[in-house]
Amino acid sequence: MAKIKTKKFDVINYLKTEKDIEEYLNVVLEEGDYKYLPVALADIARARKAMTSAAKAAGVTRTNLYQSLSEDGRPAFETVAKVAHSLGYRITLIQEATPAG
């Protein structure tokens, strides 16, 4: 019987254009599970080959940034904001029509 070779799925193989990246970020944010925003930012930095510059902007080592932006990481908001900024994004809060509470 022939063996089937498979590769581990990596989203960066599908983030080829800025439109791909924009759609990816929108899906991550629309899902509402915000713990995946740092992971998405790491994916975008890897897709753009910009992890080193993102780490420098965040004031951490590249290794620490990989760890911080992983699914198990718990990055500070400041780190997330600095990485987003280094990738050309800003985090903006917009009031919803009906505030919770």
Q: Where are the domains of the chain?
A: 20-86
Mean pLDDT of the chain: 93
> What Å distances lie between residue 73 and 1, 58, 79, 89, CA to CA?
41, 15, 12, 21
Bigger pLDDT: 97 vs 4: 4
Q: What burial class does residue 54 get, using C-beta atoms within 10 Å of its C-beta: 0-12 exposed, 13-18 middle, 19+ buried?
A: buried
pLDDT interval class at 100 (50, 70, 90):
low
pTM score, two decimals? 0.86
pLDDT in tens, 14-42: 999 999 999 999 999 999 888 999 999 99
pLDDT greater than 80 at residue 7: yes
